[in-house]
Structure 1
Amino acid sequence: MAAGSAGAATDQWIDPDDGVRYPAGEVHGWQPGRNETVCGLSLHRSRLRRFPHVTWADVQPESGRHAEEVREVCRRCRAGLGGRRDDRGWTRVNPRP
Structure 2
Amino acid sequence: MAGKRQAAVAASGSWTDPDGVRAPAGEVHAWLAGTNQTLCGLALSRTRLLRFPHVPWEEIIPESGGWADRVQRVCPRCDAAVRRRPQAHRWTRTSPRP
TM-score, with structure 1 as normaliser? 0.81
CA distance in 2 between counterparts of 1:36 and 1:61 reads 23
Report the AA paired with residue 49 of structure 1.
L
1:48 aligns with 2:56: no
| 3-state SS of paired residue (2:80) | helix
Q: Which has the larger radius of gyration?
A: 2
In structure 2, what is the equivalent of residue 89 of structure 1? none
Looking at structure 2, the residues matched to 3 and 41 of structure 1 have their Cα atoms a distance apart, in angstroms, of 19
| C-alpha displacement of 1:67 | 0.8
Q: Structure 1: which 5+ residue stretches go unaligned?
A: 87-97
Name the % identity: 54
- Equivalent runs, 1:8-19 vs 2, <5 Å: 8-16=10-18, 18-19=19-20
Runs of 4+ in 1 over 2 A off after TM superposition: none
How many residues in Structure 1 have an aligned counterpart in Structure 2? Answer: 83
Bigger helix share: 2
| TM-score between the two structures when normalised by the length of structure 2 | 0.80
- Give the alignment of 1:1-97 within 5 angstroms: 3-16=5-18, 18-82=19-83, 85=85
